[in-house]
Chain A
């Protein structure tokens, strides 16, 4: 549904996006994560046919973002980074204005606006001016604006920013509904828990390049290694070290707990339990520790920084020229 190939964007001397390649299948939700200034918004703007790529090409729903820019804008719903509403308007007239610009009839856009306002709990506030709305309400209106023409592709830039937990939940539920309805969604966010919950795949962008991409499980495996286990014993963990020798590679010991990684829990864990039982060491608990996207993200971003620093040390005379490639960063991080 979204196909971006080697996208570059220059703003004068500034190389904002460096060879982004991204494929999003119909009905897939992909989260685009990255620090501020990484090139997320510029990438989204190119995919929305608002900015022209300097190099490379992109197609959205089969339409070329340069040659068929209008068609692309018609099939895309864009939630911008800032709500940017017309504050003297009322919700219905505001949404109908954008519906009209999308080519909808007045009755269709009014009907759709009502449906969405009810869905997001804003119907009661329909007669109030938008300047009286809270930040979260404004954000919801901006989201409804993106949905007004029922687009098959959605770009959501920080959709739950500034929302209270209840509103954020409402929006996340709406996104889950959209995912269930096979809408294709490209989500940019700093909320990693949200990305973990909603996204089928995650792409991490830094300095204009995608430095990692995959499902949460793939990224976790690639950057944090095998699943991590915590074994809590009823006695000092030092006693168990000799018993477990050869069965598992222990990462570290902390009081009565032993931490280790294994890919093969089905065969390793029973073996550990059996050895400890034979040695009479009581087991209190054996848990797989949750691996969070935040850890993956921080590892990748920190790894990229290390790679940047390394490239600066290695090539002091070329520091303005050679961009760090995604592959180089990934290799460096893995190493």
Chain B
């Protein structure tokens, strides 16, 4: 049986199940058929009360977003019911015993959690639109544009996917609906904040920014869906029955991963138990890790190039943090202590962003090379705009800027930033798809252990060295170049 066929079977059953559950059906019915009429009636009253037709027209698109979003928000409930509820009612194991893949089961449940609320949302918006067209035609034509309708539909779709995928991740960490409802606030609160921002943008008619919001939500939805796929598998689901927080075991596993390198997916019990050796780390483990981290390194490189390209467009930001073209030509005095401080500060920054990467799918880590190269791109771009050229040296030359301000210590510092970002990205990706043989928890511990080793034994020395070079060598080169 193909996965598509299995998904269809699951979707059919689950959608039927939702459509026979009056606890879900009744509120959806009210929100779909009653809420649009109420909002239109309220609009008429508000027009009479405020006496300002223009203001109300600006609110109409927001009302439509509300009409569409509220029924769609039921996707969170249907998802929790489908994933955690099934586990709580002990009906999941029978499904897990079927000859279908984890992904087919996950996608079947994801789609069935989405379809009824989204259809209801679409229906509610259609009813709102038709009713508005009939009852208040001028409000319809002045308030709703085709572009707006497309944007709002996509926003609702993306937010629903985000909520459902978020619900799956929540469900993978709980065994009861009650606990899942409490954890659901982690999805609901950001979604509510997003709605408020969207409301402001809709009222301001900033469709361009709303398109960006759609893209951002698409990225988040994709990341959460991928994470959900990683979390929703037979091994993870059934292992959770035996799960208990065992800090001693966590620490032991972490130390195992630190002590020696084995590829991700090698279970801790399969480690031979060798002790840590610096020689082995530099000669064997680090090259093997770099080979393993090819994809995160590529992602970090893309962020680096994007930073350099985007730098000129983010000028205001870099001005504020002191990376301004006006500072080109300033030659600071050498200061060893400042160099050490800079090295420590840079490595701490990388450490913090890597830890935050766990919660941001690695995005925070990518910010380090992005902004580092962004600043260089900005200053170099500004020098070019003011007449500098890449082929000649001089105070306005971007080439001289790169040779003087960037290269001497940057040759150490920038690769360290890219390497650190790659290891941070791997931490962020650890929650999404654990390799075969690892649980999500083991995958996070493994990537944290590798980051810890590399941070302490590679990045910290590199940043310290770069800081010292910056103070002792770069300053002298600058003095020669800029006088």
Using CB atoms and an 8 Å cutoff, list the residues of chain A in contact with chain B: 10-14, 16, 45, 48, 50-52, 54-55, 70-71, 73-74, 76, 78, 80-89, 97-98, 100-103, 142, 145
Q: Is B13 an interface residue (CB 8 A)?
A: yes
Contacting residues, chain B, for A50 (C-beta < 8 A): 93, 96-97, 234, 238
B433-460 contact mask (Cβ, 8 Å, vs A): 1 or 0: 0000000010000000000000000000
Q: Are B99 and A71 in contact (CB under 8 A)?
A: yes
Contacting residue for B6 out of A13, A71, A101, CB 8 A: A101
Assess A84 versus B99: contact at CB under 8 Å? Given A78-B94, A145-B94.
Answer: no
Q: Are B90 and A73 in contact (CB under 8 A)?
A: no
B172-204 contact mask (Cβ, 8 Å, vs A): 1 or 0: 000000000000000000000000000000000
List 12 A-B residue pairs with CB atoms under 8 Å apart, sorted by A's residue number: A14-B244, A50-B97, A51-B235, A70-B99, A74-B99, A78-B94, A81-B93, A84-B90, A86-B13, A101-B6, A101-B98, A142-B94
- Identify the closest chain A residue to B437 (Cβ): A52
Q: Are B90 and A82 in contact (CB under 8 A)?
A: yes
Q: Is B239 an interface residue (CB 8 A)?
A: yes
A73, A81, A101: residue with the most chain B Cβ atoms closer than 10 Å: A101
- Identify the closest chain A residue to B12 (Cβ): A97
Contacting residues, chain B, for A98 (C-beta < 8 A): 94, 98
Q: Are B97 and A80 in contact (CB under 8 A)?
A: yes
Q: Is B275 an interface residue (CB 8 A)?
A: no
Q: Are A80 and B249 in contact (CB under 8 A)?
A: no
Q: Are A11 and B239 in contact (CB under 8 A)?
A: yes
Assess A11 versus B97: contact at CB under 8 Å? Given A88-B20, A88-B21.
Answer: no
Contacting residues, chain A, for B243 (C-beta < 8 A): 11-12
Contacting residues, chain B, for A70 (C-beta < 8 A): 99-101
Contacting residues, chain A, for B89 (C-beta < 8 A): 84, 87
Assess A101 versus B99: contact at CB under 8 Å? Given A10-B269, A11-B242, A86-B13.
Answer: yes
**How near does chain A come to B146, taking the closest CB pair, in angstroms?**
41
Assess A12 versus B242: contact at CB under 8 Å? Given A88-B20, A97-B9.
Answer: yes
- Identify the closest chain B residue to A100 (Cβ): B9
How far is A78 from B95 in the complex, measured between Cα atoms in Å? 10
Contacting residues, chain A, for B252 (C-beta < 8 A): 13
Q: Is B91 an interface residue (CB 8 A)?
A: yes
How far is A142 from B89 in the complex, measured between Cα atoms in Å? 14
Q: A84-B92, A97-B13 are in contact. List 10 more A-B contacts (CB 8 A).
A: A10-B267, A12-B246, A13-B246, A54-B269, A81-B90, A82-B93, A84-B94, A86-B17, A101-B9, A101-B10
Q: Is B321 an interface residue (CB 8 A)?
A: no
B10, B21, B242: residue with the most chain A Cβ atoms closer than 10 Å: B242
- Identify the closest chain A residue to B101 (Cβ): A70
Q: Is B480 an interface residue (CB 8 A)?
A: no
Contacting residues, chain B, for A84 (C-beta < 8 A): 89-94
How far is A142 from B1 in the complex, measured between Cα atoms in Å? 23
Contacting residues, chain A, for B98 (C-beta < 8 A): 73, 98, 101-102
**How near does chain B come to A49, taking the closest CB pair, in angstroms?**
8
Contacting residues, chain A, for B95 (C-beta < 8 A): 101
How far is A11 from B240 in the complex, measured between Cα atoms in Å? 8
Q: Are B91 and A103 in contact (CB under 8 A)?
A: no
Contacting residues, chain A, for B94 (C-beta < 8 A): 78, 80, 84, 98, 142, 145
Q: Are B91 and A85 in contact (CB under 8 A)?
A: yes
A-B pairs with the 5 shortest C-beta distances? Answer: A84-B91, A13-B249, A11-B242, A84-B90, A82-B90
- Identify the closest chain A residue to B240 (Cβ): A11
Q: Are B235 and A80 in contact (CB under 8 A)?
A: no
Contacting residues, chain B, for A76 (C-beta < 8 A): 97
How far is A298 from B467 in the complex, measured between Cα atoms in Å? 72
Contacting residue for B97 out of A48, A82, A100, CB 8 A: A48
**How near does chain B come to A147, taking the closest CB pair, in angstroms?**
13
**How near does chain B come to A44, taking the closest CB pair, in angstroms?**
10
